[in-house]
Amino acid sequence: MARQIVFTGRVVDALGQAAAINVTAVYDEGPIIDRIDIVRVGLDLDINIVARDPEGGALTYELAASEGVLVQDAQNPAHFVWSP
Protein backbone atom coordinates (compact mmCIF):
# COMPACT_ATOMS: atom_id res chain seq x y z
CA MET A 1 0.00 0.00 0.00
CA ALA A 2 1.11 3.52 -0.69
CA ARG A 3 2.13 5.79 2.13
CA GLN A 4 0.46 9.15 2.68
CA ILE A 5 2.83 11.95 3.58
CA VAL A 6 1.57 15.29 4.93
CA PHE A 7 3.58 18.38 4.03
CA THR A 8 2.99 21.63 5.87
CA GLY A 9 4.02 24.84 4.16
CA ARG A 10 4.18 28.10 6.09
CA VAL A 11 5.07 31.64 5.05
CA VAL A 12 5.48 34.76 7.18
CA ASP A 13 5.70 38.33 5.93
CA ALA A 14 7.70 41.24 7.38
CA LEU A 15 4.79 42.19 9.67
CA GLY A 16 4.62 38.70 11.17
CA GLN A 17 1.42 37.71 9.40
CA ALA A 18 1.47 34.04 8.54
CA ALA A 19 -0.31 31.61 6.29
CA ALA A 20 -0.06 27.84 6.30
CA ILE A 21 -1.34 24.97 4.23
CA ASN A 22 -1.24 21.19 4.58
CA VAL A 23 -0.91 19.03 1.48
CA THR A 24 -1.16 15.25 1.49
CA ALA A 25 0.84 13.37 -1.12
CA VAL A 26 0.80 9.67 -1.94
CA TYR A 27 4.18 7.97 -2.14
CA ASP A 28 4.27 4.51 -3.69
CA GLU A 29 7.50 2.66 -4.31
CA GLY A 30 7.58 0.37 -7.33
CA PRO A 31 7.89 -3.40 -7.10
CA ILE A 32 11.31 -5.04 -6.78
CA ILE A 33 12.43 -8.09 -8.75
CA ASP A 34 14.83 -9.96 -6.46
CA ARG A 35 15.75 -12.62 -9.00
CA ILE A 36 14.51 -14.91 -11.77
CA ASP A 37 15.23 -18.58 -11.14
CA ILE A 38 15.59 -20.81 -14.21
CA VAL A 39 15.89 -24.60 -13.91
CA ARG A 40 16.11 -26.99 -16.84
CA VAL A 41 13.65 -29.90 -16.67
CA GLY A 42 14.22 -32.18 -19.65
CA LEU A 43 13.93 -29.93 -22.70
CA ASP A 44 11.81 -27.35 -20.85
CA LEU A 45 12.80 -24.49 -18.60
CA ASP A 46 11.05 -23.92 -15.26
CA ILE A 47 11.08 -20.18 -14.56
CA ASN A 48 10.13 -18.47 -11.29
CA ILE A 49 10.07 -14.72 -10.77
CA VAL A 50 10.86 -13.78 -7.16
CA ALA A 51 9.54 -10.25 -6.54
CA ARG A 52 7.90 -8.11 -3.87
CA ASP A 53 6.12 -4.84 -3.35
CA PRO A 54 7.64 -2.73 -0.53
CA GLU A 55 4.17 -1.67 0.62
CA GLY A 56 2.85 -5.24 0.52
CA GLY A 57 0.59 -4.78 -2.49
CA ALA A 58 -0.42 -7.60 -4.82
CA LEU A 59 1.73 -8.18 -7.91
CA THR A 60 0.95 -9.41 -11.39
CA TYR A 61 3.63 -11.14 -13.44
CA GLU A 62 4.52 -11.06 -17.12
CA LEU A 63 7.31 -12.79 -19.01
CA ALA A 64 8.11 -12.75 -22.72
CA ALA A 65 10.36 -15.01 -24.77
CA SER A 66 11.84 -14.31 -28.20
CA GLU A 67 11.01 -17.87 -29.30
CA GLY A 68 9.41 -21.09 -28.10
CA VAL A 69 6.21 -21.51 -26.09
CA LEU A 70 5.83 -19.84 -22.72
CA VAL A 71 2.99 -20.85 -20.38
CA GLN A 72 2.11 -19.11 -17.12
CA ASP A 73 0.93 -21.28 -14.21
CA ALA A 74 -2.67 -20.33 -13.35
CA GLN A 75 -2.24 -21.40 -9.71
CA ASN A 76 1.12 -19.65 -9.24
CA PRO A 77 1.34 -16.62 -11.55
CA ALA A 78 5.05 -16.09 -10.75
CA HIS A 79 5.85 -19.49 -12.32
CA PHE A 80 6.27 -20.08 -16.05
CA VAL A 81 7.29 -23.05 -18.21
CA TRP A 82 9.13 -22.46 -21.46
CA SER A 83 9.26 -25.14 -24.18
CA PRO A 84 11.35 -25.00 -27.36
Instruction: Convert the pLDDT of each residue in 10-33 to its tens digit.
Output: 999 999 999 999 999 988 889 999
Domain count along the chain: 1
Mean pLDDT of the residues in the chain: 94
Q: Cβ distance 49 to 63 under 8 Å? A: yes
pLDDT value for 8: 96
Could you tell me the residue range of the domain that residue 25 belongs to?
3-83
Q: Which string of DSSP letters, residue by residue, matches 14-81? A: TTS-EEEEEEEEEE-PPPEEEEEEEEEETTEEEEEEEEE-TT----------SSSEEEE-SS-TTEEE
pLDDT value for 3: 82
Q: Which residue ranges of the chain lie beneath pLDDT 50?
A: none
pLDDT value for 1: 66
